Amino acid sequence: MNIPHLYLVEDNAPSHQTARSVDKEERKEKGIVTLDWPSKSPDINQIEGIWDYEKDEISTWQFVGASKAVVDGAKAVLVQTWEDLPQAVIDNKCQSFHEKLQRVIIHGGNNNFNG
């Protein structure tokens, strides 16, 4: 079964070890393209900027304690802020990816430009 436009990105993070278990021949058979990751592994994943936005939104709330009511309230706020996330924020982060990737390449695989 070939899935069009399926890419696998491996960034050496321990949580991504499972992806490495798929061998190269199987990837090729299934049409999975593996993208190279810069050797210094800068984190330019666009979700990082979205998490920052979410943290700013959530920081206006204060949750004290660890009771079920407090935890449930915190979860509700997390869900609501995620649902209220403007599409423009996501679009802007996604549209800046190629520029950030080019900056990583220009800096020799480094992310010291705060990208």
pLDDT tens, residue by residue, 98-107: 888 888 888 8
For residue 29, the one-letter residue type is E
* pLDDT value of position 35: 72
CA-to-CA distance for 7 and 35, rounded, in angstroms?
Answer: 7
Region 72-77: mean pLDDT is 93
Instruction: Output the six-digit token pair for 73.
Output: 């309230």
CA 49 to centroid of chain Cα atoms? 9
Q: Is 40 helix (H, G, I), strand (E, B) or coil?
A: coil
Q: 14 pLDDT exceeds 70?
A: no
Q: 93 pLDDT exceeds 70?
A: yes
- Cβ contact 104:38 at 8 Å: yes
**Domain spans, the chain:** 6-35, 47-106
Helix ranges, the chain (H): 17-20, 24-30, 47-58, 68-83, 87-95, 97-106
